Amino acid sequence: MLLHIPAILDADQVRSMRAALQAAPWADGRETVGAQGARVKRNLQLSEASPLRQELGAQVLAALARNPLYHAAVLPLRTLLPRFNRYEGGGHYGFHVDGAVMALPGGGQLRSDVSCTLFLCDPEDYEGGELVISDTYGEHEVKLPAGDLIIYPSSSLHQVQPVTRGERLAAFFWVQSLVRDERRRRLLLELDRSIQTLTHTGADPAAVLQLTGVYHNLLRDWSET
Ligand code: NI
């Protein structure tokens, strides 16, 4: 499931994040990938231990926590602290698949179920830089307004096209979902959206309550912690 979640950050948050990132020291993005990724990755990243990454990453997590659509779609169990990247001067990241299991800073591991990219520059500010996600329906090009998020399956092949003008700043991170199976997550999201609509359009409260029970009991059956 590819899902566009608009306005995770507002214009002020985007502006101040971008200003902080533009003044930051950047490192080679190949620091954080294995041999497969290193062959095709040409970009810059904030270093893993950078205090700015900690600070801005925490801001992104706080913004996600306030977003009901994000929660309904991802059902997050564990989230890796967001990283930040920068593409410019032809920078790109060829087709790759994200690592399946990642170490968490405090110990423990995260299975990557959902990959997330939060755009921090507006599409007209740079040329190229589309995130291309390949699935059974073909290739999807994604280039969103600053502050918007795309979520996509970590199992998919994807790439970032070369940025040939301007610069592309983004945050990216991975989530282990309570519900591993993508089709089940999509069913739960559709059910959640239907319940919201029925509630707001004044449907029979007893029927809505019953449907809400179905939602929670499916989530209980399908979730793993
Ligand atoms: Ni990736």
- 116: tokens are 């997330």
pLDDT in tens, 89-103: 999 999 999 999 999
Q: What is the pLDDT of residue 186?
A: 97
Please tell me the predicted confidence (pLDDT) of residue 31. 84
- Residues of the chain with pLDDT below 70 are none
Instruction: Tell me how far the alpha carbon of residue 182 lies from the centroid of ligand 1, in angstroms.
Output: 18
Report the largest interatomic distance among the alpha carbons of the chain, rounded to a whole angstrom: 59
The pLDDT assigned to 189 comes to 98
> 35 alpha carbon to ligand 1 midpoint, in Å?
14
Find the 96 Cα to ligand 1 centroid distance in Å.
6
Contact 158, 188 (CB under 8 A): no
Per-residue HEC secondary structure of 144-180 comes to CCCCCEEEEECCCEEEECCEEECEEEEEEEEEEECCC
Domains of the chain: 3-177 (2.60.120.620), 182-222 (4.10.860.20)
Rounded distance from Cα 29 to ligand 1 centre (Å) = 12
b or e along 70-98 (b: 16 or more beta carbons within 10 Å of the residue's beta carbon)? Answer: bebbbbbbbbbebbbbbbbeebbbeebeb
